[in-house]
Structure 1
Amino acid sequence: MTILGVDPGSRVTGYGLVKCEDGEVRALGFGCIRAREKAPFSYRLKEIYEAFRKVLEVNEPDCAAVEDIFYRENVRSAFQIGHARGVILLALAQAGLPVNEYTPAEVKRSVVGSGSASKEQVRFMVQHILKLPEPPEPYDASDALAVALCHVHRMRTGG
């Protein structure tokens, strides 16, 4: 089974693909979708949507795991991330993929063991679990791989 993990953002959206096979999990790839920072917001959403559709077409995942929005003091930023999540969820629905959503704390807990783990700790554990030769860069990509690993953990534990 190929799982696409997604860390949505209004400027940078991370994605990571992992494959579960015969009890083993390995990374297939990861990267980021970068919307033009100076573009009007509606155009950034279009760029995210179109680039994400290409990721889906090229990689053909079996399911997706998407990080949910967490509380932000900056309401505008939270709304913008919500819009980015919306176009990502739309693309996933159009592709007919099952979608699982996890909070940042759930992702951190499943990968590191603590819901308050730092980005550095998450990146370190992602590299260790997936036996990657180098830490996945940038954080958006390592976070997306962590979301995919969270889903692997949920599938294995049934909860």
Structure 2
Amino acid sequence: MIIIGLDPGLTATGWGVIAKAGSRLSHVANGQVRTDAALPLPDRLAALDAALAEVIARHRPDAGAVEEVFVNVNPQSTLKLGHARGVALLALARAGLPVAEYATKLVKKALVGTGGADKKQIQAMLGVLLPGVRLAGPDAADALAVAITHAHLLGSHR
């Protein structure tokens, strides 16, 4: 089974693709989609949608998982994150994929064992779970963590 994880953001959306065979996980690919802050919001969302559609078409996942929105101190930042998350959910749904959503604390707990893990701990655990992985950046690392969480919880999610 091929699983794509997405960590939505308007500036950068991370994506990570893993393969699950029984209890074995392997890295397929990861990256980040960046949008141009100088463009109007609709153009940025369209660019994000096109880029995610291309990633999904290239890797042909069987399932998708998206990190849930957390509330920022700045309501505008939360709203922009919500827009990007909507595009991510739409891209997966348009591809006909079953989609799961996971809270940030659950992703951290699934990977590191504590919901309060920091980014360095997540990245270190990715190195253990996916030996030799080269991360395209912190958003890609978070996306891989979402994909791994889905792989671990797949049986219970159904």
SS of residue matched to 1:66: strand
Partner of 2:26: 26
Contact residue 5 and residue 146 of structure 2 kept, 8 A: yes
**Which SS does the other structure have where 2:4 is aligned?**
strand
- Secondary structure of 1:55 counterpart: helix
Pair 1:133–1:144, CA change in 2 (3 A): closer
Q: Secondary structure at 2:15's aligned position in 1?
A: strand
**Equivalent position amino acid for 1:42 in 2:** P
Separation in 1 of the partners of 2:132 and 2:2? Answer: 17
- 2:141 corresponds to which residue? 142
1:8 and 2:25 are equivalent in the alignment: no
Query: How far is 1:141 from its partner?
Result: 0.5
Distance in 2, matches of 1:120 and 1:37, equals 27
For 1:139, the aligned partner's letter is P
Gaps of 5+ in 2: none
Instruction: Tell me the TM-score normalised to structure 1 length.
Output: 0.95
Shift of residue 146 of structure 1?
A: 0.3
Match in the other structure for 2:105: 105
Report the number of matched residues.
157
Deviations 1:37-91 (A, max 9, x none): 2111111101000100001111100000100001211110011010011111111
Question: Separation in 1 of the partners of 2:137 and 2:85?
Answer: 19
TM-score after normalising by structure 2:
0.95
Equivalent pairs: percent with the same residue? 39
- The answer to whether 1:121 aligns with 2:117 is no
- Residue 17 of structure 1 aligns to which amino acid in structure 2? V
Residues of 2 paired with 1:89 and 1:22: CA distance? 26
Unaligned runs of 5+ in 1: none
My pick for the range that moved more, 97-106 or 31-40, is 31-40
Distance of 1:84 and 1:56 partners within structure 2: 16
Q: Could you tell me which amino acid in structure 1 is paired with residue 143 of structure 2?
A: A
Cα RMSD (Å): 1.2
| CA distance in structure 1 between the aligned counterparts of 2:60 and 2:68, rounded to whole angstroms | 22
Q: Paired residue for 2:154? A: 155
**CA distance in structure 2 between the aligned counterparts of 1:119 and 1:22, rounded to whole angstroms:** 27
